[in-house]
């Protein structure tokens, strides 16, 4: 309701209609639903205009950011994803910040491949940032190389560290 800017009282009939039409079904977590088929989800997603998709991602990211800090930490990967998808709305700095935080969180959980993915995404976004900082770039390259090494991807880590050495 929040993301789509639909009054809460109007959402339940829409959910019931989608269930009756076998578009969605209840998922394991109470009060949550998922699409009956990934192709259907993807088709509906692609029908949204680019600006509408970006705005929905922004609203979801901001809603997740407003959760209490314990809940927010559990959703860092999702927050990072939604800010990344909304970055073209001028949210690059937020997207970089949350990609980095998601990478840090994944690293603490020993999820090195996930951490590397988040740091790589932060670097990609940093290329688009008007406040591009060489210090931030160096730090992200160092963290990316470290996570790639820990995940066993030594060749990719070597390329990242070589890139870092040229800065």
pTM of the model: 0.84
What is residue 6's predicted lDDT score, i.e. its pLDDT? Answer: 80
**Residue 147 vs residues 25, 43, 91, 140: alpha-carbon distances, Å:** 37, 35, 26, 10
What is residue 129's predicted lDDT score, i.e. its pLDDT? Answer: 84
What is residue 1's predicted lDDT score, i.e. its pLDDT? Answer: 63
**Measured at the alpha carbon of residue 61, what is the angle toward residues 115 and 72, in degrees to the nearest 5?**
65
Cα separation, 16 vs 18, whole angstroms: 5
Within 21-91, residue ranges assigned H as helices are 38-47, 50-65, 69-74, 76-85
4 pLDDT band (50/70/90 cuts)? confident
- Burial pattern 40-63, b for ≥16 Cβ within 10 A else e, equals eeeeeeeeeeeeebbbbbbbbbbe
What confidence tens digit (pLDDT) does each residue in 59-75 have? 999 999 998 777 778 89
What is residue 48's predicted lDDT score, i.e. its pLDDT? Answer: 93
Collapsing DSSP to helix, strand or coil, 4 comes out as coil
What confidence tens digit (pLDDT) does each residue in 82-140 have? 999 999 999 999 999 999 999 999 999 999 999 999 999 999 999 888 776 888 999 99
Cα separation, 92 vs 145, whole angstroms: 22
What confidence tens digit (pLDDT) does each residue in 5-62 have? 787 788 888 888 999 999 999 888 887 889 999 999 999 999 999 999 999 999 999 9
Cα separation, 6 vs 56, whole angstroms: 12
């Amino acid at each position: 309701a929040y993301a789509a800017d639909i009054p809460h009282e109007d959402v339940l009939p829409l959910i019931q209609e989608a269930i009756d039409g076998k578009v969605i079904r209840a998922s394991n977590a109470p009060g949550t639903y998922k699409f009956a088929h990934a192709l259907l989800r993807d088709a509906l997603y692609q029908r949204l205009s680019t600006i509408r998709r970006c705005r929905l991602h922004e609203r979801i990211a901001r809603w997740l950011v407003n959760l209490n800090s314990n809940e927010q930490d559990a959703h860092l990967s999702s927050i990072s994803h939604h800010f990344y998808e909304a970055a073209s709305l001028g949210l690059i700095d937020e997207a970089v910040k949350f990609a980095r935080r998601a990478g840090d969180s994944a690293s603490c959980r020993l999820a090195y491949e996930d951490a590397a993915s988040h740091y790589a995404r932060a670097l990609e976004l940093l290329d688009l940032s008007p406040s591009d900082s060489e210090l931030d770039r160096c730090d992200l390259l160092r963290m990316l190389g470290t996570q790639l090494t820990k995940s066993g991807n030594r060749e990719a880590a070597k390329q990242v560290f070589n890139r870092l050495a040229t800065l």
